[in-house]
């Protein structure tokens, strides 16, 4: 039996999600569709015996500077309440530009999506990448409509996918961005959004990281016989990091496992898990693109204390 439409589950949980919007713990994500009904999900992947293996670089495309590398930066530091036009609607976002920004250097661009009922400030508090990125990234914090992300509408009509597209075009035209190193990450509902973008905008993204989230799902999407959403964004295999608390009582750990299941299939992983980075993280082996998961014992619906560190280590390993 197929999962219920996301629109229905979103309506059912909106009220309880809004009760906690203060950083660093963001409002909870929507209850996602029920887990795939075609068979039991495996337990969270556990590292193979042996010492922890440090992340190793995964080769990628050569650096491609954006048109903004020829421009004088409009500002540095934290820029709040910026706007971009999306189909005639002004959408807002915050931006964090390194204090040492140099328009002769191409920077990674990372989109950080807040949870339901949240804000750019929540997204920044949940994943403070500026504390670990060594001034190597421009960090963008989009604001969802009424604090929410559209997870159900097809990409061709999805206002939040269009928002992402507009932000990429705007920021790469005004700042010096390495267009081969654009990333997305998010907590809770923002983690679902990151997975949606990996599915629908894979060619534009080097990798994504989902914390306490799930997906990708789509109400009107096409699914294979294993219950996996068929991603038609032009790049079915995408490097993905999934971090989830084993004690999460709001977005069940099975939702994180559904994400691992989806990307294990999409990334054509042939082997089992191997230790990666700090425990309990594990990387699937024999994959077309890297897939790492960290199912953290005792962690509830909040970001792991090592979330920023692990996210940047994963992104930084993709060269």
Strands, E, within 126-211: which ranges?
137-142, 177-187, 207-211
State the DSSP string of 53-112: PPP--B--PPP-B-GGGGS--S--EEEEEEEEEETTEEEEEEEEE-TT--TTSPEEEEEE
Identify the band that residue 67 occupies on the pLDDT scale cut at 50, 70 and 90.
Answer: confident
Identify the band that residue 48 occupies on the pLDDT scale cut at 50, 70 and 90.
Answer: very low
Residue 18, class by beta-carbon neighbours within 10 Å (0-12 exposed, 13-18 middle, 19+ buried)?
middle
Q: Which residues contact 270 (CB under 8 A, 6 or more apart)?
A: 285, 286, 287
Beta bridge partners of 187: 211
Query: Comparing C-alpha atoms, which of 235, 216, 237, 238 is closest to residue 227?
Result: 216
Identify the band that residue 12 occupies on the pLDDT scale cut at 50, 70 and 90.
Answer: very low
Residue 201: the pLDDT is 95
Question: Is residue 284's pLDDT more than 90?
Answer: yes
Q: What is the pLDDT of residues 171-186, one digit of tens each?
A: 999 999 999 999 999 9
Q: What is the pLDDT of residues 296-313, one digit of tens each?
A: 999 999 999 999 999 999
Local structure of 178: helix, strand or coil: strand
Q: What is the pLDDT of residues 183-240, one digit of tens each?
A: 999 999 999 999 999 999 999 999 999 999 999 998 888 888 888 888 876 677 999 9
Question: Is residue 81's pLDDT more than 50?
Answer: yes
């Amino acid at each position: 039996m197929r999962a219920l439409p996301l629109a229905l589950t979103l309506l059912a949980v909106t009220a309880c999600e809004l009760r906690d919007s203060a950083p660093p713990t963001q409002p909870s994500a929507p209850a996602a569709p029920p887990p795939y009904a075609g068979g039991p999900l495996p337990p969270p992947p556990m590292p193979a015996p042996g010492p922890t293996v440090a992340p190793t670089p995964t080769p990628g495309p050569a650096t491609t500077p954006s048109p903004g590398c020829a421009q004088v930066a409009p500002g540095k530091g934290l820029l709040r309440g910026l706007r971009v036009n999306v189909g005639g609607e002004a959408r807002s976002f915050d931006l964090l530009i390194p204090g040492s920004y140099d328009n002769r250097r191409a920077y990674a661009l990372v989109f950080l999506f807040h949870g339901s009922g949240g804000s750019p400030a929540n997204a920044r508090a949940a994943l403070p990448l500026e504390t670990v990125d060594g001034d190597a990234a421009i960090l963008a914090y989009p604001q969802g409509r009424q604090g929410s992300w559209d997870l159900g509408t097809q990409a061709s009509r999805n206002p939040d996918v269009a928002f992402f597209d507009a932000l990429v075009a705007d920021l790469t035209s005004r700042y010096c961005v390495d267009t081969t190193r654009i990333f997305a990450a998010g907590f809770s509902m923002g983690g679902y959004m990151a997975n949606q973008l990996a599915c629908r905008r894979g060619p534009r993204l080097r990798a994504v990281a989902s914390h306490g989230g799930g997906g990708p799902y789509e109400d009107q999407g096409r699914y294979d016989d294993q219950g996996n959403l068929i991603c038609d964004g032009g790049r079915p295999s995408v490097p993905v990091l999934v971090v989830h608390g084993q004690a999460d009582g709001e977005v069940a750990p099975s939702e994180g496992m559904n994400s691992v299941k989806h990307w294990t299939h999409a990334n054509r992983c042939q082997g089992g898990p191997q230790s990666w980075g700090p425990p309990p993280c594990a990387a699937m082996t024999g994959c077309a693109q890297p897939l790492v998961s960290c199912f953290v014992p005792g962690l509830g619906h909040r970001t792991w204390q090592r979330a920023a560190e692990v996210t940047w280590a994963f992104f930084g390993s993709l060269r």
